[in-house]
């Protein structure tokens, strides 16, 4: 079942100045934006210590917006690193036990102070991730609003997790989809699948209509 905001847009389409946002616009924004080369968050790049260096191996994480981090499955399971970063909220956008999912849940983090939210999303262009856009945005916003830090993961930290963060920037920070894509892509190599990009374009058109 489609989410209500998409149904409303189908029923009443106000013309948008400059036309509709399309998947192609977002794909172009992804490809034209270069990702900066930055040190791993939480580590001092100037410290020369073999044990310290080894602790960074297996970490795949980037701060893509103040207080918001995107990472892969292995990093999401590294509770020691999450504690070092000061993560208060963790959103697993790929919760599940099958191949391509990340097998964590609230119980996995029960020995920490991290608040957990899991979304059972497959990285397929046919997956309706849009029904979770506002849920994910509210969760991330809760972390940022209280001065905390949100870590958002999927399997590789490129598609499902990135899409959730992009939706947050659009819904809570009033960013246009293209601007959100450029902001995140500058800080991490993300690549949402084509279906997710289309749903983000639909969200962008919906939010733009609301602001008319």
Residues marked active site are found at: 154
Q: Kindly report the CA angle at 190 between 146 and 19, in degrees rounded to 5? A: 90
Q: Are 101 and 155 in contact (CB under 8 A)?
A: yes
CB atoms within 10 A of CB 10: 9
DSSP string, 96-114: SSSTTSB---GGGGTTSS-
- Tell which residue, 127, 39, 144, has the closest CA to residue 91: 144
Distance CA(194)–CA(25), nearest Å, equals 12
Q: How far is CA 208 from CA 89, 116, 138, 184, 194, in A?
A: 29, 31, 19, 20, 21
């Amino acid at each position: 079942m489609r989410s209500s905001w998409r149904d409303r847009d189908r029923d009443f389409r106000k013309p948008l100045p400059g036309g509709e946002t399309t998947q192609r616009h977002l794909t172009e924004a992804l490809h034209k934006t270069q990702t900066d080369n930055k040190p791993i968050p939480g580590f001092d790049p100037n410290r020369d210590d073999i044990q310290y260096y080894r602790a960074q191996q297996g970490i795949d994480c980037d701060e893509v917006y103040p207080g918001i981090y995107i990472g892969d499955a292995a990093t999401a399971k590294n509770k020691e690193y999450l504690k070092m970063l000061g993560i208060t909220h963790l959103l697993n956008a790929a919760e599940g036990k099958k191949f391509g999912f990340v097998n964590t849940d609230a119980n996995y983090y029960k020995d920490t102070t991290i608040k957990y939210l899991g979304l059972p999303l497959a990285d397929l262009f046919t997956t309706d991730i849009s029904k979770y856009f506002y849920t994910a945005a509210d969760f991330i916003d809760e972390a940022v609003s209280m001065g905390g830090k949100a870590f958002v993961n999927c399997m590789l930290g490129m598609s499902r997790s990135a899409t959730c963060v992009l939706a947050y920037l659009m819904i809570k920070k009033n960013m246009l989809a293209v601007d959100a894509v450029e902001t995140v892509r500058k800080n991490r190599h993300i690549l949402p699948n084509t279906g997710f990009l289309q749903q983000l374009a639909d969200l962008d058109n919906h939010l733009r209509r609301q602001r008319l």
